[in-house]
Amino acid sequence: MKKSIVVLLMSIIASLNTFPILAQSDIRFVYSQDGVLLPLNTNGSIYVGGNDITPVNSKDEITRYMRDNSLTLSEKLTYIKEQIAFIPPTEQHQIIQATDLSDVEKSLLYTECMYTPEQYSSIMQKFHTSVYNTSMISLPGIFTCYAQEKWNYCMPAVTQSTVDYLTGSILSQSSIASDLQITDFTMGHMSDLQECINGYQSERYYIYREKYSLTVFTSCVNYDIDTVHCPTIVNIYAPETGQWYYRTDIGHALNINAISASGAETQIADPLINSDFAPETDLDSCFYGCSTSTLYAILVDFLY
């Protein structure tokens, strides 16, 4: 059994009285590898009591309760805090994102109610998910970097991530590849992607641009992230060792989901790094930073 994650100390739950779940405050919980909820005694042994634990609501029950009941923001926050502690992390993420809470309140739920900052950072890397980064101008909310499913599916992967962020709909990479006429032996083209991605969603009309100047590129990325809140899609070419974290002599598509206030630094969401085709690098997450000038030096074209 892999190491289980302690999701919430019961002392936090005990301080929330609107929707009491437990009658015993010295129990904490972990999830087993297969997602089974395991209550623990204070000495770390498995708790086997029969009636001290109220049955946990499912994701659907939680969603239905919030839909059918008129709750104040405070009541809703309290209810979510109590309920999400007892369901698997992937479903916790889905419930939080489905609420009408602000991005700041969602971040608080993640970092203060569900996990310690250290646990949260580890989990976000595991699920390849990026949250609001206070040291950068980041896309509001959650941006998920999907791993590319084939060696040449970087463009379908960044499209999948982009459309998911903008609409909440998750397209299949194979269907995107088909629309882009990508075969087992060919890559896609950014100019074709412009038409496809604008057909997939109406939240943001993407414009195709070739490499022009670092100043223009930085302004476009900043406009995307800070003003219209959409990820930038870039196409890079780095055939020489040392130009990038790894060589890519056939081109490679990436997302940008954050930029520094000065524009000197960007945060990359790279679908290759968390895939089965990842090169050997020192990168431990598909989200990583780089200087904007370094990125621009290997830029071919982009959508913003």
Q: pLDDT by residue (tens digit) across 227-241?
A: 999 999 999 999 998
User: For the segment 117-176, what is each residue's pLDDT rounded down to a tens digit?
Assistant: 455 455 444 444 444 344 678 898 888 899 999 999 999 999 999 999 999 899 999 999
Over 90: is that where the pLDDT of 271 sits?
Answer: yes
Average pLDDT over residues 216-225: 93
Least confident of 112-121, 164-173, 198-207: 112-121
Burial class (CB in 10 A: 0-12, 13-18, 19+), 82: buried
Phi and psi for 31 in degrees, rounded to 5? Answer: -110, 135
Whole-number CA gyration radius for the chain: 22
Question: Who wins on pLDDT, 65 or 21?
Answer: 65
What is the pLDDT, as a whole number, of residue 141?
83
Can you list the domains of the chain with their CATH numbers? 10-127 (no CATH), 143-303 (3.90.70.30)
Over 70: is that where the pLDDT of 48 sits?
Answer: no
What is the pLDDT, as a whole number, of residue 109?
63
Q: Are the C-beta atoms of residues 140 and 133 closer than 8 Å to each other?
A: no
Over 50: is that where the pLDDT of 183 sits?
Answer: yes
Least confident of 37-41, 204-208, 216-220, 274-278: 37-41
Question: What is the average pLDDT score of the chain?
Answer: 74
Q: Please, what is the end-to-end C-alpha distance for the chain in angstroms? A: 44
What is the pLDDT, as a whole number, of residue 11?
37
Least confident of 61-70, 99-108, 130-139, 175-184: 130-139
Alpha-carbon span 28 to 6, nearest angstrom: 7
Percent of the chain with pLDDT over 90: 42
CA distances from 224 to 29, 138, 165, 246 (A): 41, 10, 13, 26
C-beta atoms surrounding 248 within 10 Å? 18
Alpha-carbon span 277 to 150, nearest angstrom: 8
pLDDT band, very low/low/confident/very high, at 300 (cuts 50, 70, 90)? very high
Average pLDDT over residues 47-70: 54
Q: Which two tokens stand for residue 304?
A: 């913003």
What is the pLDDT, as a whole number, of residue 193?
95
CA distances from 264 to 217, 259, 292, 293 (A): 11, 8, 5, 7
- In three state form, how does the secondary structure of the chain look? CCCCCECCCHHHHHCCCCCCCECCCCCEEEECCCCCEEEECCCCCECCCCCCECCCCCHHHHHHHHHHCCCCHHHHHHHHHHHHCCCCHHHHHHHHHHCCCCHHHHHHHHHHHHCCHHHHHHHHHHCCEECCCCCCEECCCCEECCCCCCCCCHHHHHHHHHHHHHHCCCCCHHHHHHHCCCCCCCCCCHHHHHHHHHHHCCCCCCCEEECCCHHHHHHHHHHHHHHHCCCEEEEEEECCCCCCCCCEEEEEEEEEEEECCCCCEEEEECCCCCCCCCCCCCCCCCEEEEEHHHHHHCEEEEEC
Average pLDDT over residues 277-282: 90
Average pLDDT over residues 193-219: 93
What is the pLDDT, as a whole number, of residue 56?
45
Over 80: is that where the pLDDT of 295 sits?
Answer: yes
Over 80: is that where the pLDDT of 250 sits?
Answer: yes
